[in-house]
Chains A and B, each alone.
Chain A
Amino acid sequence: MTEIYTPKSIQEAISFLAAHPDARPLAGGATLIAMRNAGLIEASHFVSLSEIGELQGIAKTGEGIRIGAMTRHRETAECDLLTGSLAVVRQAAGMIANRPVRNMGTMGGAVSNADPAADYLPALACVDAVVTLAGPDGQRDVPVRTFVQDWYETALDEGEIVIAITLPAPRNELSLYRKVARVTGDYATASCAIAMDGDTIRVAIGACGPGPIRDTEAEETLRGHLANPEAVTAFAGQLAALADPIDDVRGSAEYRLALIPRLIHAGLRQMKLAEVA
């Protein structure tokens, strides 16, 4: 029997988690309760984050846009602040599972779970988002790009929770999230978050390793050569070299590797077309 504890502030949540090592934070529940129902996890307490005001809502801040950890996928998918270079985050939110799950699942929950095939992390990595964590030793920021450290392992320390994800202010440039999946709402077989950045592109590949794959140096070497297919192919090759895809029911490692350059080229074509139109 798991007890349910419903704190009203981040501080209450953190001190409870510190005092109860077998307690687990519960965000939307879309993933955690599914795993509990399948007998995969047990917990002494669920610390429900649903009544902590500070974790709610999406708002403009000084240097960008702050998305509270308990923001539901649906809110993110319909948020008109996420335009231009940030549209990729909005598109990713809209492709998660289906509408009822998007009414329940939260960005903080999804980011903490760090499922390699989930939709948010590549999109957030592509826009250089930062995750704000809060724990017994206070708050700290971790760039999404380095947040995932291994398969299902993140920068979260014991007793820490994600309280917000902050995106830089949107640039008036195109961005696109492309997901290859067997049916609507399935986890990604492979995914590509891509944003125009002047004469180069920012790209994060999903479902091809423990976390999103991005190579900022390769992006710089590509700067100015977007029109040169070989340069783009070489760039894609850099990302593929960093990939560590698995074989599973959604596809083989070879297939995922083969998709990386193809998704990048297709994304570029689509954005070029959109730019010209």
Chain B
Amino acid sequence: MTKKTLLTLTLNGEETDVATPMDATLLETLREDMGVLSVKRGCNQGVCGSCTVILDGEPVRSCLTLSARCKGHDLRTIEGYEADDIMASLKQHLTQSGGIQCGFCTSGVLLSAQTYLAENPHPTRDGVKSALSGNLCRCTGYRTIVDAVCDAAVEVAR
């Protein structure tokens, strides 16, 4: 079996020890060694965005990030936003707006949107589209997703 090394990662606020191959990507470590399945492998080349995670508050590609470089950094996946009101509003609006179809891109979309709204409580529609241009979706045609993020921003800002 491939040689694994011990790594301490802070995932969703919890320090976790995980045994994972030294040169594993964060996507492989999360899915295969930590059982976090909300992060998806759509292309493994950093283009589709279904593997997006939040590293130190910024959306990054977990398929292009080495786990070994995440020691001591703050790592968040969708599971880490249970108590976050921006995320709650985003989930609610995305569910209602028709912004979720097959769902394979949804976790990545929500993480990118949450980070963007946290920084831009009053976003422009163009700003939202730029924030999401790294999350490919083939089912919705994007309008319903952008609407949901804009509506959530209005609701949270109230």
Closest A residue by C-beta to B130: A99
Chain A residues near B25 (CB, 8 Å)? 33, 37
Q: How far is the CB of A46 from chain B (nearest CB, A)?
A: 7
Chain A residues near B23 (CB, 8 Å)? 1-4, 46
> Is A50 located at the chain interface by the 8 A CB criterion?
yes
Chain B residues near A46 (CB, 8 Å)? 23, 66
Q: How far is the CB of A52 from chain B (nearest CB, A)?
A: 13
Chain A residues near B52 (CB, 8 Å)? 100
Main secondary structure of the interface of B (DSSP, over half): mixed
- Chain A positions 27 through 55: 1 when the CB is less than 8 Å from some CB of chain B, otherwise 0: 00110011001100000001010100000
CA distance A97 to B58 in the complex (A): 16
Are A1 and B2 in contact, with the CB atoms below 8 A?
yes
Are A33 and B133 in contact, with the CB atoms below 8 A?
no
Are B22 and A2 in contact, with the CB atoms below 8 A?
yes
> Is A15 located at the chain interface by the 8 A CB criterion?
no
| B residues whose Cβ falls under 8 Å from a Cβ of A | 2-3, 21-23, 25, 44-46, 49, 52, 55, 58-61, 63-66, 68-69, 112, 130-131, 133-134
> Is A231 located at the chain interface by the 8 A CB criterion?
no
A-B contact count (CB 8 A): 83
Chain A residues near B21 (CB, 8 Å)? 1
Closest A residue by C-beta to B131: A99
Chain A residues near B69 (CB, 8 Å)? 4, 6, 29, 48, 50
Closest A residue by C-beta to B57: A103
CA distance A30 to B59 in the complex (A): 13
Chain B residues near A2 (CB, 8 Å)? 22-23
CA distance A106 to B103 in the complex (A): 31
CA distance A3 to B24 in the complex (A): 10
CA distance A240 to B44 in the complex (A): 37
Chain B residues near A48 (CB, 8 Å)? 66, 68-69
Partner of B134, one of A3, A29, A33, A98: A98
> Given that A38-B45, A184-B133 are known contacts, is A103 also in contact with B66, CB under 8 Å in the complex?
no
Closest B residue by C-beta to A4: B68
